[in-house]
């Protein structure tokens, strides 16, 4: 169901085609909807590699990269980092993984992310897993996450919700219009959400 296999994805430098077949599932949903939690379950059961765009950006910042200050400022303000930076990180992680099945979590976050990824990599997602959850529930989860994230404070959370509504939901609507969205009720308990996720992945693996 919905898995797209590409005969000629582009290399990391964007120019040399390879014959490697790659399956990509975009995992989208609001901040705190449970994307990372469910991706960890999918990895265990279905052998995908999980790539969280947010995690890659945080690691890049920590590495002392020349983009570190910019990434720090964008995350603190809940803004979207320019696609070029995030796509390079995703491409590198895909190459280093040695896998050919990827859950790309928290990307694409806006139209620029979406169009740039498609044109640079030539990859279209097999489908989009969309975690649908109320803002009230997401806010509650983020305020109780306790992972020391600098953006899990009420001021930044509100900014992240605004960016989600204005920039990320239109991307989900775009894929919905192409029949690619698999929507999950993410307000349920973790185990129940995963039952719904399993039902989507089981027929194709």
Ligand X SMILES: Nc1ncnc2c1ncn2[C@@H]1O[C@H](COP(=O)(O)OP(=O)(O)OP(=O)(O)O)[C@@H](O)[C@H]1O
Ligand Y SMILES: Nc1ccn([C@@H]2O[C@H](COP(=O)(O)O)[C@@H](O)[C@H]2O)c(=O)n1
Q: How far is CA 191 from CA 28, 34, 124, in A?
A: 19, 11, 29
Q: Does 126 bind ligand X (CB under 6 A)?
A: no
Closest approach, Cβ 8 to ligand X, in A, equals 32
* Count of residues interacting with ligand Y (CB under 6 A): 18
**DSSP SS3 for 178:** coil
Q: Is 148 annotated as a binding residue?
A: no
Candidates 12, 37, 68, 79: give the one binding ligand Y (CB under 6 A): 79
Candidates 34, 78, 125, 126: give the one binding ligand Y (CB under 6 A): 78
Within 27-66, which residues bind Mg ion (CB under 5 A)?
A: 36
Q: Does 109 bind ligand Y (CB under 6 A)?
A: yes
CA–CA separation, 38 and 44 (whole Å): 10
Whose Cβ is closer to ligand Y: residue 57's or residue 181's? Answer: 57
Task: Measure the CA dihedral 185/190/191/194, to 10°.
Answer: 50
Instruction: Work out whether the CA dihedral 78, 81, 86, 89 comes out positive or negative.
Output: negative
Concatenated DSSP letters of 55-83? HHHHHHHHTT-TTHHHHHHHHHTTPPPPH
Binding positions for ligand Y, rule: CB under 6 A: 31, 52-54, 57, 74-75, 78-81, 86, 106-107, 109, 113, 151, 160
Residues marked as binding for CMP? 113
């Amino acid at each position: 169901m919905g898995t797209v296999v590409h005969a000629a994805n582009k290399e990391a430098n964007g120019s040399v085609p390879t014959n490697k077949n790659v399956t990509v599932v975009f995992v989208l949903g609001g901040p705190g909807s449970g994307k990372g939690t469910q991706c960890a379950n999918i990895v265990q059961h279905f052998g995908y590699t999980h790539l969280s765009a947010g995690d890659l950006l945080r690691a890049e910042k920590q590495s002392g990269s020349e983009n570190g200050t910019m990434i720090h400022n964008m995350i603190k303000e809940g803004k979207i980092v320019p696609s070029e930076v995030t796509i390079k990180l995703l491409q590198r992680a895909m190459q280093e993984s040695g896998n050919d099945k990827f859950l790309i979590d928290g990307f694409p976050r806006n139209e620029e992310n979406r169009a740039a990824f498609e044109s640079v990599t030539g990859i279209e997602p097999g489908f989009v897993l969309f975690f649908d959850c109320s803002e009230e529930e997401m806010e509650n989860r983020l305020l109780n996450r306790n992972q020391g994230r600098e953006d899990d404070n009420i001021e930044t959370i509100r900014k992240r919700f605004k960016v989600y509504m204005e920039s990320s939901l239109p991307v989900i609507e775009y894929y919905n219009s192409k029949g690619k969205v698999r929507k999950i009720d993410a307000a349920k308990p973790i185990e129940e959400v995963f039952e719904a996720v399993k039902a989507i992945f089981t027929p194709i693996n």
